[in-house]
Structure 1
Amino acid sequence: MRSHLRNILKYSAITLMVIFILGYGIFETRRLFEGPVINLVTPPNGMSVTTSQVTIEGSAQNISDISLNGRKIFIDSAGHFKEELLLSYGYNLLTFIAHDRFGRETKKILELVYTGPQ
């Protein structure tokens, strides 16, 4: 009877460990399928601004590097970034490009219009 109970506990523990390891593996491999993600928070796309200096805020997940108009930008440990830019008068096109560690690329374009002081 005691050895039967030991076998049940042993196989239960092994089964739980296998389930945990498989679950963790599936959780970690989701990055293989998602690829890099860029989320822009402020300012909204298509916005007209009256000051030449603008603060761009957003976040990025599953990336190894990210750039804004070809210039590398840095993210904090939580994946957030905040960049100060000077806009040209008129239409401004800001291109964010991010790569993940597997070489996949994603691009996000932000269009802003600087109308000058009103």
Structure 2
Amino acid sequence: MTDRRQVKWLMKIWISVAAIAVILGYGAFRAKDLAQGPRLSVESPADGSAMRDPLVSIKGTAKNISFLTLNGDKIFTDESGAYDEKILLSPGYNAVTVEARDRFGRMVRQTLQLTYN
């Protein structure tokens, strides 16, 4: 092989290796969502809280989701995954359910038990 052909051959090998590394890296990055599943947290109010005001703000974060509901109604997050929705409590015991699903159909749910006096 001449020097010029050898350089071209080595360049093709290095470019192929770099392309494969980029493809594998991107695949690993996207597979992270598949492995982790949806993540959901409700920051306020705390479960079991007794509320004095019937209008309550449910705040939290959701990651790796494609669908989010509060008591069955679709809600939305901001760019960072935070949500803040207001609900009206009935007098007495109230169950508030936040449910998140990812694009693979996996679901997580958190239910808060709140009382309004």
Identify whether the pair has TM-score above 0.5, normalized to the shorter chain: yes
- Do structure 1's residue 94 and structure 2's residue 96 form an aligned pair? yes
| Between 11-20 and 53-62, the greater mean CA deviation after superposition | 11-20
What does residue range 1-118 of structure 1 map to in structure 2 within 5 Å?
15-114=17-116, 116=117
CA shift at 1:40, angstroms? 0.8
CA shift at 1:18, angstroms? 3.4
Cα distance in 2 for partners of 1:74, 1:48 equals 26
SS at match of 1:32: helix
Residue-pair matches, total: 115
SS at match of 1:25: helix
CA shift at 1:39, angstroms? 1.0
CA shift at 1:60, angstroms? 0.9
Percent of pairs identical after alignment?
Answer: 39
CA shift at 1:54, angstroms? 0.9
Instruction: Indicate the RMSD between aligned Cα atoms, in angstroms.
Output: 2.1
